[in-house]
Structure 1
Amino acid sequence: MPARAQVPARLSHIAPAVVQSEIRAMSVACDAAGGVNLAQGICDTPVPAPVEQGAIEAIRAGLNIYTRLDGIAALREAIAAKLQQHNGITADPDKEVLVTNGATGALYTTLLALLNPGDEVIFFEPFYGYHVSTVLSLRMVAQVVPLTAPDWKLDSDALRAAVSERTRAIIINTPSNPSGKVFSRAELEAVAAVAQEHDLYVIVDEIYEYFVYDGAEHVSMATLPGMRERTITISGLSKTFSVTGWRIGYLTAPADLVPAIGYFHDLVYICPPSPAQYGALAGLTQLAKTSFYDDLRADHQRKRDLLCDALRTACFQAPKPAGAYYIFADASHIPGATAAERARTLLRDTGVAAVAGSAFFREGRGETMLRFCFGKRDEDLERACEALRSNP
């Protein structure tokens, strides 16, 4: 039988430039090496019992079919109550809250609804690569404003200089992945002033909002004067409840924007997984009455300190982050011409996987940095710390 002719792939204009995320690549390499994965923000700590039980009961009760495109009513009401209590944001659960397929789904459909190809979006560097890649995949333009190391401070003049006539939005992640930066109220006010002056949307990813340490304050942009009507606040339960695979996120936005965002979310995802929504509902309603969030913060601060100490013993420069569950460390002493090479050297020598810092910068930057995740089970984190200490 004659061999079939190979048909050349007909890819989109942007597809040839698409490569596997360095985070995913390091996870694959770690699995192959049998190492400890501090690369991916998997957050594999135990799921809170009410969250787990809520999902199980929903499955057994037959709540396995599509929900409304904006999520089950009780969950939207619980999210609105949480926004009021924790964030100081008043949101109508029927008109201003949308349950989404993770925070990534919230961002993707927000961009589809509000921006056009060719529009410019401002990011702060170091940035979360998935945010930038999502913008680029929609044929929009990413404009990057570098933050000033080592504290990653905002330069408001640099922000103003980045605005052009095509700028439509600013994306902020606070607390931040990868640096753990928590934007101060003054910094957010500076961003708000630029947004109002140039009539821009501000899209804020607050997925790590409960992970703040040493008295740091998480401020929601939507609570600042004049910002509620132009802010899309995104968060979710993946990190807080250790259910990253469940894909339960949400957003709150002005009522005139939510229908368009909801339309695109329905088109792409239909709805988030139904049983997982009920698990999230149980967590939000039951854990709010306990010390869960305080315990979560204290436990991760302990883990942060443990990993920072181990990294410093291993000759890394590892400042303690104010938020999130990542340590962004200088790894200049690790052999390698690039951050990706340094990460693979570290994995080979210690069995500990980290992410190349270059994944969070423009090309040619971040080559001495590695990101480590400490949102891990104690036994895995302790194993990683021992391996690092043994290989200074």
Structure 2
Amino acid sequence: MALERSALEAAGKRYRDEGISRRVRGIAVSAIKEIPLLAQKVPGCVSLGQGISSFPTPEHIVDAVCRHLRESVWTGKYTLGPGLPALRRAFADMLVRERGLWVDPDTEICITVGAMEGLCATVLTLIEPGDEVLLPSPNYASHIEQVLLAEGIPVFFPLKPATWQLDLDALGHAISPRTKAIIICHPHNPTGAVFSKEDLLVVAQWALEHGFYIICDETYDFLTYDGKPYWSLLSMPELRRQVIGVFSFSKKYAMTGWRVGAVVAPADILDHVMKVHDAAAICAPTPSQVAALAALEGPQECVAHFRKTFQARRDRVCSFLDRMAPHLSYVKPQGAYYVMVKFPPQAGDSMTVALRLLHEARVITIPGSAFGPGGEGHVRLSFGSTEAELDEAMERLARWFEKNTA
């Protein structure tokens, strides 16, 4: 069974079981997607839910796609499965420029339908029934469901609640002979943590000793705050045979709806990832690949602007949360654009609180239970929205928590 109580089930929806495969019965649509579905029936909601940036896709990207749609006969056709050769070359150039990481664009990069398809294809490629996959807790909800879809076993190890940093003692105890992989989203969704290089090096050493894979979800690699350095396990040459990187254009270039990402892996692993990619998608949408190419080759000032603005929004939300003490507590995010907010036990479980906030405060939040056992007692807030939306939502939250947790 799925590891969390479905938001739609909590609201009264019932799912058919007869004739449905065990694999699909055992997973749930993430509450990240379900709560906004429920919110469609609640007028006047303000969203701190799904991680959608308020920014439009930069104009130079949109212009490039419009031009190609009008002038290039191939823009409306399939590309080769791994993606446009020019896009893969540009992506490889970006990795050299920003990471000092050289990969072969012809054999080690596949362009995917967002990072989500890339992650799912990677998990289905590596994980067999009964394999254990290590997941920090709390952890991005869809990683959990992807492991379950592959009939693997999610094995949670807690993050340190005072800092949301890796708890290496807990991780060490979670490793077993059945451990096949660990999935690390870094910077971390849902906590906003940026893990230390020293801790990640320990993870790397254990992967080498025990022979398990590391799947790096690099969706927020560009988004750290206060000058916090970012370091990726992809940077270790010793790990090249065991590490798979999954990237996204969604957050970095305000392209969530374009659905384009990339998998970077050794050629002999990527060959198998490509089988799943072909069966599920054939190729990423060609116009979206054109957009991704324009994003990589165009001006990068937009990325710096997004980072600066999100840091200001983080500080804005944190100032609201500071004024809500002692009703609420939190750890200040170091990256991504989420904050996990801890509420008093008397308010109820996290699904109950999220549903009450939706219907009573008209604010969309995500229950912490969606992110594994370590998320219970929290709700996740996204600060991707505009300043006006953030102010209104935080005012509503302040009134609700003062009334219901006093």
Whether the 8 Å contact between 2:165 and 2:194 is mirrored in structure 1 is no
Distance in 1 (alpha carbons) for counterparts of 2:399 and 2:68 = 47
The 5-angstrom pairing of residues 126-137 of structure 1 reads 126-137=138-149
Distance in 2 (alpha carbons) for counterparts of 1:260 and 1:355 = 34
Please state whether the residue corresponding to 1:256 is helix, strand or coil: helix
Whether the 8 Å contact between 1:336 and 1:345 is mirrored in structure 2 is no
Whether the 8 Å contact between 1:356 and 1:371 is mirrored in structure 2 is yes
Deviation string 1:105-134 (CA, Å, 9 cap, x unpaired) is 111111222332221111111111100110
Deviation string 1:357-376 (CA, Å, 9 cap, x unpaired) is 111123xx533201000112
| Structure 2 residue 262 is the aligned partner of structure 1 residue 253 | no
| Structure 2 residue 324 is the aligned partner of structure 1 residue 311 | no
**Cross-structure match for 1:46:** 56
Whether the 8 Å contact between 1:35 and 1:353 is mirrored in structure 2 is yes
Alpha-carbon distance, 1:186 to partner = 0.5
Partner AA of 2:88 in structure 1: R
The 5-angstrom pairing of residues 258-337 of structure 1 reads 258-288=270-300, 291-315=301-325, 316-332=328-344, 336-337=347-348
| Structure 2 residue 353 is the aligned partner of structure 1 residue 342 | yes
Please state whether the residue corresponding to 2:224 is helix, strand or coil: coil
Deviation beyond 6 Å, 4+ runs, structure 1: none
Deviation string 1:28-66 (CA, Å, 9 cap, x unpaired) is 233322201111112232111112122222222341111
TM-score by structure 2 length?
0.89
Structure 1 window deviating more from structure 2 (53-62 vs 103-112): it is 53-62
Deviation string 1:265-324 (CA, Å, 9 cap, x unpaired) is 111110111001101111111123xx3222221110001111111233234213320011
| Change in CA separation of 1:8 and 1:278 when aligned onto 2, cut-off 3 Å | closer
| Structure 2 residue 25 is the aligned partner of structure 1 residue 29 | no
Q: Which one of the candidate residues 35, 39, 58 is aligned to 2:68?
A: 58
Q: Which runs of 5+ in 2 are unaligned?
A: 1-15
Whether the 8 Å contact between 2:28 and 2:145 is mirrored in structure 1 is no
Please state whether the residue corresponding to 2:67 is helix, strand or coil: helix
How many corresponding residue pairs? 381
Please state whether the residue corresponding to 2:339 is helix, strand or coil: strand
**Cross-structure match for 2:383:** 374
| Change in CA separation of 1:200 and 1:216 when aligned onto 2, cut-off 3 Å | same
Deviation string 1:199-226 (CA, Å, 9 cap, x unpaired) is 1111000101111001211111011251
**Cross-structure match for 1:176:** 188
Alpha-carbon distance, 1:339 to partner = 0.6
Distance in 1 (alpha carbons) for counterparts of 2:382 and 2:304 = 20
Whether the 8 Å contact between 1:126 and 1:360 is mirrored in structure 2 is yes
Alpha-carbon RMSD across the aligned residues, in angstroms, is 1.9
| Change in CA separation of 1:90 and 1:101 when aligned onto 2, cut-off 3 Å | same
| Structure 2 residue 27 is the aligned partner of structure 1 residue 18 | yes
Whether the 8 Å contact between 2:48 and 2:382 is mirrored in structure 1 is yes
Whether the 8 Å contact between 1:54 and 1:280 is mirrored in structure 2 is no
Structure 1 window deviating more from structure 2 (343-352 vs 129-138): it is 343-352
Structure 1 window deviating more from structure 2 (107-116 vs 276-285): it is 107-116
Whether the 8 Å contact between 2:253 and 2:302 is mirrored in structure 1 is no
Q: Which runs of 5+ in 1 are unaligned?
A: 1-6
Structure 1 window deviating more from structure 2 (205-214 vs 18-27): it is 18-27
Whether the 8 Å contact between 1:30 and 1:37 is mirrored in structure 2 is no
The 5-angstrom pairing of residues 66-81 of structure 1 reads 66-81=78-93
Q: Which one of the candidate residues 376, 394, 398 is aligned to 1:385?
A: 394
Please state whether the residue corresponding to 1:161 is helix, strand or coil: helix
| Change in CA separation of 1:378 and 1:209 when aligned onto 2, cut-off 3 Å | same
Alpha-carbon distance, 1:389 to partner = 4.8
Partner AA of 1:11 in structure 2: I
**Cross-structure match for 2:98:** 86
| Structure 2 residue 372 is the aligned partner of structure 1 residue 352 | no
**Cross-structure match for 1:4:** none
Distance in 2 (alpha carbons) for counterparts of 1:39 and 1:55 = 29
Whether the 8 Å contact between 1:55 and 1:277 is mirrored in structure 2 is no
**Cross-structure match for 1:3:** none
| Structure 2 residue 177 is the aligned partner of structure 1 residue 165 | yes
**Cross-structure match for 2:3:** none
Percent of aligned positions that are identical: 35
Alpha-carbon distance, 1:350 to partner = 2.8
Distance in 1 (alpha carbons) for counterparts of 2:25 and 2:267 = 38
Whether the 8 Å contact between 2:337 and 2:384 is mirrored in structure 1 is yes
